[in-house]
A and B are shown apart, each in its own frame.
Chain A
Amino acid sequence: MELDVTDTDFYRTPIISQASDPENAARLQRLWETPPGLRGQLTTVDHKTIGIRYLVTAFAFLLLGGLEALMMRLQLAHANQHVLTPEQYNQMFTMHGITMIFLYALPVLSGFSNYLWPLLLGSRDMAFPRLNALSYWVFLFSGLFIYASFLAGDGPNSGWFNYVPYSSLSYNPGQGIDFYALGMILLGISTTVGSINFVVTLFRSRAPGMSLNRLPILVWGTLTASVGNLLAVPAVSLAFLMLWMDRRVGTHFFDDGGGGNPLLWQHLFWMFGHPWVYAIVLPAMGIISDGLPTFCRRPLVGYTPVALSTVATMFIGFGVWVHHMFATGLPPMSLSFFSAASFVIVIPSAVAVFAWIATIWMGRPVFKVPFLFFASFVLLFVIGGVSGFMTAAVPLDWQLTDTYFVVAHLHYVLLGINVFPVIGGIYFWFPKITGRLMDERLGRWNFWTMFIGFNLAFFPMHISGLLGMPRRIYTYSNGYGWDTLNFVTTIGAFLFAIGVLLFVANVALSLRRGEKSGPNPWDASTLEWAVASPPPPYNFAVIPTVASRHPLWESHLSEEGSDSSVLDRGPLLAQGRETMGVTVLDGEPDVILKMPPDSFAPLVMAVLLTALCYSALIHSGWLCALSTVGILGCLLIWLWPTALVQSVKCQTMDVHYD
């Protein structure tokens, strides 16, 4: 191999080395390992640790939100129950929505993506490891911040959608809404920095040869969701800031009496809210698109249409927010536009559905537990899809909206498209994360309990909705025909909860007693399965070179191209924490990226940001000033330059990047 070496600080030719060399492993281990102990725990920037924390924290919130749901189901099991007071019920459904949508659904997917991205992409970490840590800490603190409202004696009670003027000071004088508003601004910071990190990681921090047309669909999903979040989150952060100012500073953005407009809140909220719905399903659909083929023993049918439909969904997703507002009295012309857009958005979903079915059809399915979750997801996705299609029809939506039909729809969408892939994804990647397989037998019990419980709980809601049962009512009386349906729903909800407990039990048991998995128990095709389970802190001993979408299946799939991926030999990059930076589209090696060491800065920054929000909550000018100064100081330390970027002057391997 001809190397053109320029011996300056700015140019370096990476050493090409063997992955199997134990000296390399030891050296990288020293460089990347986070020391054990509390200090290590608080300072680590390892994407795998952060990913696991995201998963565990999000799951804890899922359990909390589930408990809230069960209490509501007890209250609604029969007519005229008194399990909860009206106020308690309203706080329950509000916190249930906030928890599931904001504190579970996206963070759990961020967990998968944080853990998997560098492994999928053949890199050693995310582009901004410290930003990654910050994103997690801020998410955790914002969740605790919102939940602290209960300790203050006053949870938010105006629904996750938080419509003004009910959430304004006149009708909601307690602090619950302030906790919610400020917590959401805080969470917005986490989502934003997390999204930036994903986008930059994708564009920069991949293995050579990992061109855009070779990315796993999960990466497409998370990338699309992240770009969507970057455009959508500002709307909601702004809305919550304006609401807080209306409440505590005396502005009148949403106050009709002061020249404001209550409907402005709904526009800002749903301009964020609807794209967000796609942000919390697209990565999960990616889990299916990557996981399902493994168990069908063939590549995904229609990779390109599925990748493009992912992007198209998000794009159209920005033009449908008004379908949450069909009954607000907007002119028929604009309703027609948003109705049509809501119909159009079904098309990319149809592409994905038929691609999944074709993949199963053309493949030879292996009925492992992840397959059960992935395949059943397709059906749940379609049920959630067709009920969404019905609500897209404006005049029909005037009947359906704000009834249990919509509750059924959104749970089919969010549980079907998020929870089922997530649980299936855990079964799939658990061996990679822990080195042990989850129990297959318990897994089948877990799947069937969840599947039956889910449908028993949520299918009858369609009918109670068609029978006119409104959403967000804390009780109902006999004589509306809703009694039996609600009782069945409650039974189903508890059955589903048992399914979730079986899952937790399976995780706990398998952690200790699970069968050892080895690096690639499913004989899967993507890069994460090329490294040990669990992966070493540096992920890859040498940076791999990728020549196809399925680096580990190349020997089986001759038509993948003339070149083959090289996983056992490549650039070592071990002069400090380093990984490869590549060009955006083709993934040609470009620079050596210097990665930061473990640091307290993300945690300190997260604490200071939380303190800033707390100062707004308690109206403390002192705390506000102190935390602002602290944040600026922390930024200074964080951004202090320590290393120079070093360009790679050569191709790493003899591979054509076409």
Chain B
Amino acid sequence: MDTPLDYLYSFGPAADPLVKLGWGLITISLLVTAIIAILLLVAIFSRRQKARPDAEGHLPITRDSGGMMLIYIGVGISTVVLFASAVWTIFTLAAVASPARAPTLTIDITAHQWWWEVRYQNDKPALIFTTANEIHIPTGEPVRINLATVDVIHSFWVPQLAGKMDVIPGQHNSTWIQADKAGDYFGQCAEYCGVQHAHMAFHVIAQTPDEFASWNRQQLAAVGAPQSETLQQGQNVFMTRCSVCHAVRGTIAGGNLGPDLTHVASRGTIAAGLLVNNTDNAAAWIDDAQALKPGSSMPSLHLSPQELTDVVAYLGSLK
């Protein structure tokens, strides 16, 4: 069974100690529950003289002493276990508070209702670029994530790489992630943020440093001019219908209300993880986004069939 948000497995040092702590406390919890259940069953069903009504029909009432010992022992053991758990918790907290070495890569994540803007920071302004809903990171490297929101509170969560960190207006929260193994890690907004909170997913793609470097170069490249009549038509449709909200670097499309689409064809999903990125889904999304993700800012464009084919082809060319 595939369980991509399952946090009892982890693939990086920001999450590994959490898994250990998790299994530890689960084990304690199951043991405690089992012990109490057994005590309870024994207490209820242990053989003893049954209460028999007296001559007037009243059940007798007794007060044997000795029960206090159970309270002393039970509470004593509980206290020791709790103390140990608290100490373990504080050590775990210290272990994941910051990465072992300072991150070399910093990514600014801006949460929107209901998608994620991803901006790769660099000391050289020319090397800064923006993408959406898909975060690529090099394996084995700690990555600093700075969190901001343009609207309400969201929460950044990649269960198999790190715990949650809320994204709160006016507050500079940051966290860090590190993947020790290449792979596609699922992320999800974890704080209720409105009508499409359910569809605010993202992906963290961990690649070997070489692959990451080549991905990075490709993302920095500007978009070339359309190579065919269809693509030209598609670009025209895009400029008239889409560019107010969406940007494609290298063209006049500079909208910043929706995801940057410069290299949209290189992404695995669209609509914040809702749909696999292919021609059919892209067409369905552009045609009637409100049917697929009611309430999102993306309108149902209802383009003519020709326009739709052209613009989908154009977007498909933005590799």
Q: Give A contacts to B, CB under 8 Å.
A: 85-87, 90, 157-159, 163, 165-166, 171, 256-257, 261-263, 297-299, 301-302, 305, 327-329, 332, 335-336, 339-340, 343-344, 346-347, 350-351, 353-355, 357-366, 375, 378-379, 382-383, 386-387, 389-390, 392-399, 401-403, 466-476, 479-481, 523, 525, 553, 556-557, 559
Interface centre among A382, A395, A474, A557 (most CB of B within 10 A): A395
| Of B68-76, B208-216, B221-229, B244-252, the one touching chain A | B68-76
Q: What are the 6 closest A-B residue pairs judged by CB atoms, nearest first?
A: A398-B163, A468-B5, A256-B170, A301-B67, A358-B67, A473-B198
Say yes or no: A297 contacts B43, CB within 8 Å.
Answer: no
Which single residue of chain A is at the shortest CB-CB distance from B62? A298
Contact A163 B28 (CB under 8 A): no
Asked if B22 and A396 sit within 8 Å, CB to CB, the answer is: yes
CB distance from B83 to the nearest CB of A (A): 8
Q: Is the CB of B37 within 8 A of A379?
A: yes
Interface size in chain B (residues, C-beta < 8 A): 91
Given contacts A353-B74, A362-B64, A364-B62, is CB(A468)–CB(B6) below 8 Å? yes
Quick check: A297 and B61 within 8 Å, CB to CB?
yes
Residues of A within 8 A of B83 (CB): 343
Counting chain B CB atoms within 10 Å of each CB, which of A353, A355, A396 scores highest?
Answer: A396
- Which residue of A165, A361, A378, A468 contacts B151 across the interface (Cβ within 8 Å)? A165
Q: Is residue B111 within 8 Å, beta carbon to beta carbon, of the partner chain?
A: no
Please determine whether A395 and B40 come into contact, CB atoms closer than 8 angstroms. Answer: no
- Interface of B toward A, CB cutoff 8 Å: 1-8, 15, 17-18, 21-22, 25-26, 28-29, 32-33, 36-37, 39-40, 42-44, 46, 48-51, 58-64, 66-68, 70-71, 73-75, 78-79, 82-83, 85-86, 88-90, 92-94, 96-97, 113, 151-153, 155, 157, 159, 162-166, 168-171, 173, 186, 188-198, 294-295
Q: Which residues of A contact B32 (CB under 8 A)?
A: 382, 386
A297 partner residues in chain B, CB cutoff 8 A: 51, 59-62
Q: Is the CB of B3 within 8 A of A346?
A: no
Q: Given A393-B21, A556-B61, output 16 extra A-B contacts at Cβ < 8 Å.
A: A86-B196, A171-B113, A301-B68, A327-B166, A329-B171, A347-B79, A357-B74, A360-B43, A378-B40, A379-B33, A390-B29, A398-B164, A466-B7, A474-B197, A480-B2, A481-B3
Interchain CB contact (< 8 A) of B152 among A166, A402, A553, A559: A166
Could you say which residues of chain B place their CB within 8 Å of the CB of A358?
A: 43, 67-68, 70-71
Are B18 and A395 touching (Cβ within 8 A)?
Answer: yes
Do residues A393 and B25 form an inter-chain contact, with CB atoms below 8 A?
A: yes
In the complex, number of A-B residue pairs with CB atoms less than 8 Å apart: 274
Is B62's CB under 8 angstroms from A166's CB? no
Across the interface, do A171 and B194 meet the contact criterion of CB distance under 8 Å? yes
Question: Closest approach, in angstroms, between the C-beta of B119 and any C-beta of chain A?
Answer: 19
Whole-angstrom distance between the Cβ of A647 and the nearest chain B Cβ: 39
8 A–B pairs (Cβ distance < 8 Å), ordered by A: A85-B294, A163-B153, A297-B59, A332-B93, A378-B40, A401-B164, A468-B6, A471-B192
Chain B residues closer than 8 Å to A347, beta-carbon distance: 75, 78-79, 82
**Is B71 a contact of A346 with CB atoms below 8 Å?**
no
Give Cα A351–Cα B18 distance, bound, in whole angstroms.
Answer: 29
- Asked if A355 and B90 make an inter-chain contact with CB atoms under 8 angstroms apart, the answer reads no
Contact, CB under 8 Å: B58 / A523:
yes
User: Is the Cβ of B93 less than 8 Å from the Cβ of A389?
Assistant: no
- Using CB atoms, name the residue of chain A closest to B78: A350
Tell me how far the C-beta of A518 lies from the nearest C-beta in chain B, rounded to whole angstroms: 11
CB distance from B73 to the nearest CB of A (A): 8
Please determine whether B5 and A359 come into contact, CB atoms closer than 8 angstroms: no
CB-defined contacts of B63 to chain A, threshold 8 Å: 298-299, 557, 559
- For the complex, give the distance between the alpha carbons of A86 and B198 in Å: 9
**A residues in contact with B171, CB < 8 Å:** 262-263, 329
Instruction: Choose one: B37, B190, B195; the contact of A402 (CB below 8 Å).
Output: B190
| Docked CA distance A472–B171 (Å) | 24
**Cβ 8 A contact of A389, one of B59, B85, B113:** B85
Bound CA–CA A472/B199 (angstroms): 11
Residues of A within 8 A of B37 (CB): 379, 382
Task: Given the known inter-chain contacts A389-B25, A396-B18, please indicate yes or no for A354 contacting B188, CB distance below 8 A.
Answer: no
A262: nearest chain-B partner, CB-CB: B169
Contact A366 B59 (CB under 8 A): yes
A301 contacts which chain B residues (CB < 8 A)? Answer: 67-68, 70-71
Assembly CA distance A256 to B71 (angstroms): 50
Do residues A336 and B166 form an inter-chain contact, with CB atoms below 8 A?
no
Give which listed residue, B4, B44, B67, contacts A480 with CB less than 8 A.
Answer: B4
Give the CA-CA distance A350 to B165 in the complex, in Å: 32
CA distance A332 to B191 in the complex (A): 21
Q: Which listed residue (A302, A467, A480, A523) contacts B68, Cβ 8 A?
A: A302
Name, among B67, B171, B193, the residue most crowded by chain A CB atoms within 10 Å (CB to CB).
B67
Return chain B residues, CB-CB under 8 Å to A262. Answer: 153, 168-171
Query: Bound state CA distance, A480 and B7, in angstroms?
Result: 12
Most buried by A among B46, B193, B197: B197
Q: Which of A86, A163, A553 has the most CB of B within 10 A?
A: A86
CA distance A357 to B173 in the complex (A): 46
Is there an interface contact between B67 and A302, defined as CB atoms closer than 8 Å? yes
Q: Is the CB of A354 within 8 A of B82?
A: no
Would you call A481 and B191 a contact (CB within 8 A)? no
